[in-house]
Chains A and B, each alone.
Chain A
Amino acid sequence: MTGLPGIKTTETPIMLRMSTSCLWITLATIAVSPAGEIQPSDIAREIDARLGIDSSEKAPLASDAEFLRRVTLDLAGRIPTIAEVHEYLADERESRQMEAIRRLMQSGVHDRTMATFWRRSWVPQADTPEFAGVTENFELWVGQRLQAGTPYDQLVQEIVTFDRLPAQGSATSPVGFYDANQNRPENLAASTTRAFLGINLDCAQCHDHPFARWTRGQFWETAAFFALPEVQANGLTMPPKVRVPDTDLEFAPALLTRNEIEWPEPLNSVGLREILVDWMQHDDQQLLARNAVNRLWSHFFGEAIIEPMDDLSRDEFQTGDRAALLDALARQFIASGYNLDVLVEGMVRSQAYRLASAVVEPTETKPTETSIGSIEVDPMTDSETENSAPLRWNHAAVRGLSGEQLYDSLQTAAGLPPERSDLGRDAGRSPRREFAAQFYVERTHNAERSISQALTLMNGSLINELTTMSGNRMLGSVLSSPFMSEEEQIDTVFIAVLGRHARDAELQVVQQGFAAHPQATREQHLGNLFWVLVNTSEFNTNH
């Protein structure tokens, strides 16, 4: 793991201005445990121990229905089907949760769901319409690599050292990472450090930030890894120099930790980036693993362990319970051989993931990370207190749905197959893609919704179609089942849309509503009920 060809490891590497108290991972301990020994249960146990959740915890657990809906949305990107709900609720075995998790993780849609998640984490800017083509190919590529069981560090390596010179044709590839960054060294540097290391270099692009950990020089030194090596008159290659726009300043590639680099000869563009990614994989701070764990955590738990996710290297984030949790999980992730399946399964198997959400969030009035309004106080003060606060974990976060989750869940609720050819290529801009783009959310834990989105969910053509028998297979089969009582029909719509039975009080409300509108047909009644349920916040959140 050490002694890389390109890098001389200095005895005492100059660290990123971090406090000495931060937890260094001793490579020795990891080196002796062969990859693959870490099991998901180890990760789940670690999470629960650090969050102070044991089996005798007082915090209430999610009901079976709530758990199934949550884990299905997180792992498969959609709500459970009526059949899945019935089967799960009828199952009383201890193993039912584990089996549901395994079944979902083995489904093809799991890779596609995670591909969307990772693509969005790495190139969030590719969610704008101008990059639509980029997104599709890149996500397909990520999905294929995940399906092949590619370890996370290798996935990153394949992206960062991608060679765009040979003609790729229409093959899937990570070229989208470069296109979304307009193939400019400065954009690629900012994206690479942010996406893969959780380091925010954006500020340093223009100036040395007052609080900063990073200088403008370091920004452009990182950018230089993405420039083309120079060929001298004598045929020898030289590391490139990049010039800061509108200045005479020029910078050659250098690592953020200032390790000395031995340049190979000849040096080409891919070889240059290999040095960078080698350092990312082996640097003692393990930002590569910590960033992956932190982001993946946010997929399952809402807020990340450390927020903002783009600033993991801040001094004040190196100590405290949160840093310790992140560090422990990162260590296990590395020891697993960067195995994403182990990490994912470990997170969803934890007690922490199973907690109920029906607790009023105390954070409700606190400004969130992307909160709007002028900054009256130094933003660091806020996140500092937040990240060093002791970890109290007594309920699950309520999260919004991504555009993809919302579309696939509407289809599922209506008994329709989510239009997908698994990892195959969609033809053009599909209705799913259009809808998902219209309902794009940046982060689910603080998702917002626009008026246009709300209008579309109430009056749009898709919803309109789904409220009729002909456009909604679930309604069609309920309506053509004469043996079902009105109560049973209502209950079935609840199960289809909300993944749970209707409660008595709800049944009463619905039946009263039906009775108050005697002119409506049964199809209209049930269509109206479907319309109402897909417009509730219960359907529109993961809780």
Chain B
Amino acid sequence: MISHPLSRRMTLKGLAVSVAGWSTTSWLPALADVTQSAPTKPKSVILIWLNGGPATIDLWDLKPQHANGGAFRPIATQVPGMEISEHLPMLAGCANDFSLIRSMSTREGDHSRARLVSLTGYTPQGAIKFPAVGSLVAHEFQVSHDIPAYVHIGGRPTVTNGGFLGPQYAPFVVGERGRRDAPGSGSLRVADLAPSSIEQQSERLQLLTGLSAQSPVSAASVVGALDSAQDRALRLMNPQAASAFQLEEESAAVRETYGLGQFGQGCLMARRLVERGVSFVEVTLDGWDTHSNNFERVKELSQQLDRGCATLLKELRERGLLEETLVVCQGEFGRTPRINGQSGRDHWPSSWSMMLAGAGIRGGQVVGSTSADGIEVESSPVRTPDLMATIFRSIGLDPRKQNMSNVGRPIRLADPEGQALEELL
């Protein structure tokens, strides 16, 4: 349980006193910038999740000399010798900021299983409830804040709960719950954040305060957990905290630079959240399951990715946040180098690429390589546990740190099989 600097009674009293009119000032003493004695200086992570399994052979590791390469041309980047897709021109212009791994080699070719493994770092085993990496990071840094420490934007998180760490570390979901069809930024909404009845809120909080003070239920730990969640929810309803999700506060020009689609606006929201100290933000760009018509679809998705991701890196750098923020961009697997009969590519876990930037990651590097046809990893194969170890190390966490799981067996942050990629750190 998070220990609050303020007692519950104080909190509720504060609410009742300042709620009159639901004003935007002095709602509650802000908790921002109050961090508990964390083992390491807290960093943030933004995971750009390319849902469906992106054709990374058409993004980061083009094969123009081979029939598998398809229609796209490579372009030069800021980094001599590092070429990426012609549909990622803005990213090409800031390649010094990021590094590529071109030798990802994993096993799972089924969407849900591959997502689970990619996001937890572990292969499912019996009843163990592996938490997502976002929950692990939030749990390690223990940043105490009005805004939840792990936020998922635009989609449905793969692990909806906090795994064995408990619901306190569950992803806090922004966007229409489970609805994928709502286009545009209008759907980047926090469910149930606004009081259902603002004019009734004053009476409700007064009664809640008065009756809670007389609660006949003993101070059991479950009661503490309920009260704590209610307090944190009320804190988030605090207009000052809730404003983190108000993209209207940004200028029209900035909003447009990110791209006006849900993904671009999600990247902007991610920047606003890490600015406020949120530990882990996931932004989803869906639609990469291109079994047919791959090139047309990947071109369109690349343009969204390019604007959103490059603008995010640029803004993070300009605001001095890039050293504190790790940006990870990947999906659950890659796609077949061979192009199928419908101009599509199918699932392909054994050789693919991904991108890392910021925090402790050295930019402008390329790890590993694939064969001329893209089918085989030719050097430095990287598996999920290696990637996980690298992610934890780059934000100053020890991948070997253990947490107790729900089956009474301690589990390390990253599968101990993994070796961090020293060349990137």
Contacts and interface: CB of A to CB of B under 8 A. Distances in A.
B236 A379 contact: no
A536 B218 contact: no
A537 B227 contact: yes
Interface in A335-379: 357-361, 363-364, 368-375, 379
Interface string B155-171: 01000111011111110
A449 B408 contact: no
Contacts of B252: none
Interface in A174-214: 187, 190-191, 194, 200-203, 205
A536 B112 contact: no
Given A513-B203, A524-B200, A449 B404 contact: no
B112 to A, nearest CB: 6
Interface string B119-130: 000001111110
Contact of B210 (A446, A458, A512, A520): A512
Nearest to B228: A449
Interface in A218-272: none
B416 to A, nearest CB: 10
B320 interface: no
A466 B220 CA distance: 28
Interface in B404-419: 404, 406-410
A454 B230 contact: yes
B139 to A, nearest CB: 6
B166 A358 contact: no
B196 A506 contact: no
B30 interface: no
Interface string A383-422: 1000000000001011110000000000000000000000
A358, A516, A535 pick with most chain B CB within 10 angstroms: A535
A232 B314 CA distance: 66
Contacts of B172: 450-452
B229 A200 contact: no
A66 to B, nearest CB: 9
B211 A460 contact: no
B192 A455 contact: yes
B38 interface: no
Interface residues of B, number: 72
A178 to B, nearest CB: 14
A400 B166 CA distance: 14
Given A194-B126, A459-B194, A450 B167 contact: yes
B211 A536 contact: yes
A538 B1 CA distance: 19
Contacts of B220: 357, 361, 364, 397-398, 541, 543
Interface of B: 1, 112, 124-129, 139, 148, 156, 160-162, 164-170, 172-173, 190-197, 200, 202-204, 206-208, 210-212, 214-230, 232-234, 236-237, 401-404, 406-410
Given A370-B406, A398-B222, A458-B196, 5 more contacts: A358-B218, A360-B218, A452-B170, A459-B196, A463-B196
Interface of A: 124-125, 128-130, 187, 190-191, 194, 200-203, 205, 308, 310-311, 357-361, 363-364, 368-375, 379, 383, 395, 397-400, 440-442, 444-456, 458-461, 463-464, 467, 503, 505-506, 509-510, 512-514, 516-517, 520, 524-525, 527-529, 531-533, 535-538, 540-541, 543
18 contacts: A187-B126, A190-B125, A310-B408, A357-B218, A361-B219, A370-B164, A395-B218, A398-B223, A441-B167, A456-B191, A467-B200, A509-B211, A510-B211, A513-B203, A528-B207, A538-B215, A540-B226, A541-B220
